[in-house]
């Protein structure tokens, strides 16, 4: 009996470390599984936290449908094909529906943010600045998430993208790095751009979402915006004259008249917006809330008055 008791004591002494080891091993495995589950659920939440309805409004404020939809009857929205003629050649807006082959269906939200914030494709190549990421880079992270959620909600369309038709020298994407070094500074919008009203909200709508400067600011021969002539008008896309949006030109319009124009396309003297601006009114400014319209007008009023750009430039 004495021998038996001694043997059982030794067995227990040996088994205890083993049991403790098994306990800790199982505990570590369980903890790792919990961490993986939390990480996976967090990734899913990050990918799906945007509000498609809010994103739809932001897409309208950004005029996305205009550049990504062919101007033809019954053309599928956001399926690409819109031509933009520039001094460097003709660019065609791409398909941004969730189609996995023709569109951006294989993109992640991080890919989308990279495109909008940094002007880079998922493979790291530069986008041509005909894609106005120099303005979109200032869209807030929250709004980018909403925009992404909206694009993911669109019906997928299989329309293939049309290759750009550019001059030989301008086809080389690596050369865009020079343009970026000269004219592009990535970064989100200032915190005060999140304000619901006033000049700060109008600045955000104009500079980031609406990217108004892309058409209404004169450019250098390399295609960069002249920052000291912001919204002063001049020669715009497709070599068409675009108006000055600073108070130098708009001072003769009341706020009510300017708001009426942005909603209807009708000028105070009974004229109508030209074809390009009429499309902007239809797709964008007429869709803005009254508060956003007032904020946009307040910002335009706050700009320094600049003289019209000479017609020979």
List, for residues 157-188, the tens digit of each pLDDT value: 999 999 999 998 888 888 999 999 999 999 87
Buried b (16+ CB within 10 A) or exposed e, 66-101: bbbbbeeeeebebbbbbeeebebbebbbbbbbbbee
Tokens of 117: 């914030």
In this prediction, residues 263-290 reach a mean pLDDT of 93
Lowest mean pLDDT among 21-35, 131-145, 199-213, 244-258: 21-35
How far does CA 54 lie from the centroid of its chain? Answer: 14
Note the pLDDT of residue 193.
Answer: 52
Mean pLDDT of the chain: 84
> For residues 309 and 313, what is the distance between their CA atoms, to the nearest angstrom?
7
Note the pLDDT of residue 234.
Answer: 85
In this prediction, residues 196-200 reach a mean pLDDT of 77
In this prediction, residues 66-84 reach a mean pLDDT of 94
Note the pLDDT of residue 172.
Answer: 87
Tokens of 216: 């209404």
228 has pLDDT over 80: yes
Tokens of 50: 């945007």
In this prediction, residues 118-129 reach a mean pLDDT of 96
How far does CA 92 lie from the centroid of its chain? Answer: 17
Tokens of 206: 């104009």
185's CB contacts (< 8 A; 6+ apart) are 137
């Amino acid at each position: 009996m004495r021998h038996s008791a001694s043997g059982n004591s030794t067995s227990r002494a040996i088994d205890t470390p083993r049991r403790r080891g098994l306990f800790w091993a199982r505990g570590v495995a369980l903890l790792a599984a919990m961490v993986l589950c939390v990480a996976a659920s967090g990734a899913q939440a990050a990918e799906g936290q945007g509000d498609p309805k809010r994103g739809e409004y932001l897409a309208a404020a950004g005029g996305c449908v205009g550049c990504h939809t062919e101007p033809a009857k019954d053309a599928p929205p956001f399926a690409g094909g819109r031509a933009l003629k520039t001094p460097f050649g003709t660019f065609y807006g791409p398909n941004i529906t969730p189609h996995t082959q023709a569109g951006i269906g294989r993109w992640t939200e991080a890919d989308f943010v990279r495109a909008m914030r940094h002007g880079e494709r998922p493979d790291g190549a530069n986008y041509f600045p005909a894609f106005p990421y120099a303005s979109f880079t200032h869209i807030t992270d929250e709004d980018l998430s909403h925009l992404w959620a909206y694009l993911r909600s669109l019906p997928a369309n299989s329309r293939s993208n049309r290759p750009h038709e550019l001059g030989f020298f301008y086809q080389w994407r690596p050369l865009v790095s020079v343009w970026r070094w000269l004219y592009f500074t990535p970064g989100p919008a200032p915190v005060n751009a999140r304000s619901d009203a006033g000049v700060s909200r109008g600045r955000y709508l104009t500079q980031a979402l609406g990217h108004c400067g892309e058409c209404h600011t004169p450019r250098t021969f390399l295609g960069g915006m002249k920052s000291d002539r912001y919204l002063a008008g001049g020669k715009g896309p497709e070599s068409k004259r675009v108006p000055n949006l600073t108070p130098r030109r708009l001072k003769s319009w009341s706020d009510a008249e300017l708001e009426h124009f942005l909603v209807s396309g009708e000028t105070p003297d009974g004229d109508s917006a030209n074809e390009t601006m009429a499309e902007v009114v239809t797709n964008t400014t007429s869709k803005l809330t009254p508060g956003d319209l007032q904020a946009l007008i307040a910002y335009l009023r706050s700009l320094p008055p600049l003289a019209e750009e000479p017609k020979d430039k």
